[in-house]
Structure formats: structure tokens, C-alpha cells
Amino acid sequence: MNAPTVSDCPAMPSSHRTMPPLRQGRRWLRTGLTIVVVALGIALASCPSCWTDPRQLGINLTLTLAYTVSLWLVNGYSVDWLDGVARWRTEPVRRLLLTVVVSLGGSLLVIVLINYAFIVLYLGRPVATLWDAGSTGRYLFPLICTSIISLVLHSRSFLLGWREALVRNERLQKEMAQAEAETLRQQLDPHFMFNALNALTSLVEEEPKVAVRFIRQLSLVYRYVLDARGREVVPLHDELAFAESYLFLQRIRYGEALQVTMPAAAEVPPQAVVPPLSLQLLIENVLKHNVATAAQPLQLRIELTPDGRQLRVVNTLRPRRVAPGESAGIGLPNLQGRYRHLTQEPVQVERGESEFSVTLPVLELMC
């Protein structure tokens, strides 16, 4: 039941969190002041004679400001657009090529348009003037400035993406370690083994063939728990097969008091993945927090939505009092935290009058 990790075949990434309005306003203010200071510095440095000619200084400052604002916006928005098309972490070569093409191409277009507005529309000269022999400087200097601006913005994007990836990976590893510890604690809990051995003892005496199958399913459960350690995602096929083995053991214990329906194998998309042991956690919670009797069976449904993008675990509500220390209360929040690092789609928890449901987003490998 081995599966590739997200680092090899990443699931669909989560989107960036929206920046608070106040922080965004401060960012725009800092950016605006920076642009004005840079434009003023370039205007004064590139035209020393303009110090004594206010009209020439105004024209030069206006052109420099137009170049600076336009090139900053073109490169800034290109960074945001490219982040959604090709990320540095996953496609560095493609991102580099797109950065060169988009940044230089967009900047050259802006430079041509500004020159056209100034030379043709403002000064009234022919369009051919844009391409005369002495026009090289009008394009070369802005392109050099563009390269500097582009280097700053795209380097910042790369460093922010790299830092975000490190932070997300650290948090994910921590939450996965907590999830593994909690899952192993539940699965290797003496009560679970005690109940399994009691059931096995009865089966060996009364139904030897079922006892053999019970031993095989118990072995599959423990093998899967060990194999899933350290993995970010596993194929949904494997997770459902594990859930079937786990539920087989529970059915022996509960008998007719537990009634389960599961999706057919043909319904499961081949590229669908989920965090490992997520179904075990939800099934364990259902059995731990609800009463199941033959007179009032506990109904448990595991179902895929028609589009195969969500997995729902639904159970009838028969609440029971949980003894202190029996439940740590971190299982579901931990699962929600693991999902936050894999996708922007949340884990949906709904409690109705007669049913309790948890809806898990089904991820898809991107390779």
C-alpha cells in the first residue's frame, strides 16, 4: 500500500492567505513612497542640467515617474501571475524562462508605449523617430532599470516562496508526527488489542475459518499503520481497503449493532489521494462517541460525492458519555490542520439532529 509523497507528486496546493486590509494599505503606501523617491533620484541623476530648468526637470521627472510606475506594476503583477502559473519550488526552470519572457517582453512594450506618447503625441514627431539611429539609449537605459526592478521583485517572490515552503513543511511535519503518535496510541492501545484477542479467542473455538480471516485482517491493519508512517498522502484505494480491514475487526466485535456501507472500488478515481489514516481516525471517533446496540444499530456511511472530489463519513447520532482520558480531543483538529497544508478546501464538520458527518476533500496527484 505504498504511495508517493507530496514532494514527489504534489497534491493541489492551497492558495495564499488574504492580506489584512490595514497591512495591505501600509504596503501600498510604502511601495508608492519608494516609487516616488526612486523616480526623483533617477530624474535628478540622469539630467544634471535640469536643476536649473524647472520645465525640463518637470518633463524629465514625469517621464521617469511614468517609467518607474509602469515598469514596477508590470513586473509586480507579472510576479503574482507567474506564481499561479509556475511556482519556483515546483517548476524552477519553467518559472525562470517565463520570468525572462514575460518581464522583458512586458517591459519593452511599456517602454515603446511611453516613447510613443512622448515623442509622437507630445512632441509631434513622426513615428519613424522611435526607431532612428540615436534611439538606442531611450530603450537601453529603461531596460537596465527594468532588469534591476525585475531582479528585486522576482528574487523577493522566490525568497518568500522558499520561506513559506519551509514554514509549511515544518508545521506539516509537526502535525503529522502528532497524528502518527495519536493514531499509533489508539491502534496499539491495550484495550484495542484486548478486544481483538477476546474476539479471536471466541472465533478460534466456534468459527476457525473466520478466525483465520480475522488474523489476516488484523495483520493488514497493523501493516498499513506502519507503512503509512511519514507519508503525506496515500491513494484513496489503499485508504478504503484499510478501512474495510479495520471495519471487519469492528464488525466481529459489534455484530449487528454496526452497519456500514462503503463506495464501490469502481467509483474511486485512480489519482485520488487523502492523508493516511484519516478514515481510521473518523471511524474511531464514531465508535468511541456513539452507542451501538442490536436494537438500535449504529449506521455508518462512507461515500464519495458524484464528482469524486469529496469523501463523506456519516453516522447516526447515538451519543454516549466518554470517560475522562479516553479521548484526547486532538484527532479531528489535527486532521483539519494537515488538510490546511495540502489544500485550501476545508474539512467540513456538520452535526444535525440525527446525523453527524465529516466531509474530507479528495486530493489529486499532479504528476
The answer to whether residues 256 and 294 touch, using CB atoms and an 8 Å cutoff, is yes
Backbone angles phi, psi at 118, to 5 degrees: -80, -50
Q: How far apart are CA 3 and CA 229, in angstroms?
A: 11
**SS3 call for 358:** strand
What 3-state class would DSSP assign to 50? helix
Catalogue all structural domains in the chain, each as residue range(s) with its CATH number.
39-183 (no CATH), 190-320+329-364 (3.30.565)
Provide the terminal-to-terminal Cα distance of the chain, rounded to the nearest Å.
19
Could you tell me the three cell numbers for 12? 493541489
> 16-27: per-residue pLDDT in tens?
434 556 666 676
| Distance separating alpha carbons of residues 247 and 241, to the nearest angstrom | 10
pLDDT in tens, the chain (367 residues): 444 344 345 454 333 434 556 666 676 677 667 766 766 666 666 666 666 677 777 777 787 777 777 777 777 777 778 777 877 667 778 877 887 788 778 878 888 888 888 888 888 888 877 777 666 666 777 777 767 766 776 677 677 777 777 777 777 666 666 665 555 445 445 666 777 778 788 788 788 888 888 888 888 888 888 887 768 889 999 999 999 998 988 888 888 899 999 998 888 988 999 988 889 889 988 988 899 998 889 999 999 998 889 999 999 998 887 666 556 566 788 788 888 878 889 999 999 989 999 999 999 876 5
The pLDDT value recorded for residue 351 is 92
> For 45, which DSSP code?
H
**How does DSSP classify residue 272?**
E
Phi–psi pair at 218, nearest 5 degrees: -65, -40
> Against a cut of 0.75, is the pTM above it?
no
**DSSP code at position 319:** B
Nearest CA among 245, 231, 318, 313 for reference residue 279: 313
> Read out DSSP for 82-137?
HHHH--TTT-HHHHHHHHHHHHHHHHHHHHHHHHIIIIIIIS---GGGGGSGGGHH
According to DSSP, the residues that pair with 270 across neighbouring strands are: none
Partners of residue 360 on adjacent β-strands = 311
The sheet carrying 258-261 orders its strands as: 258-261, 298-304, 310-316, 355-361, 348-351
- pLDDT, tens digit, for every residue of 295-328? 889 999 999 998 889 999 999 998 887 666 556 5
Q: How far is CA 351 from CA 26, 259, 318, in A?
A: 41, 20, 12
Rg of the chain over Cα atoms, rounded to whole angstroms, equals 31
Three cell numbers at 230? 511519514
- H-assigned helices in the chain: 21-46, 54-85, 92-115, 136-187, 190-206, 208-227, 236-254, 278-289, 331-340
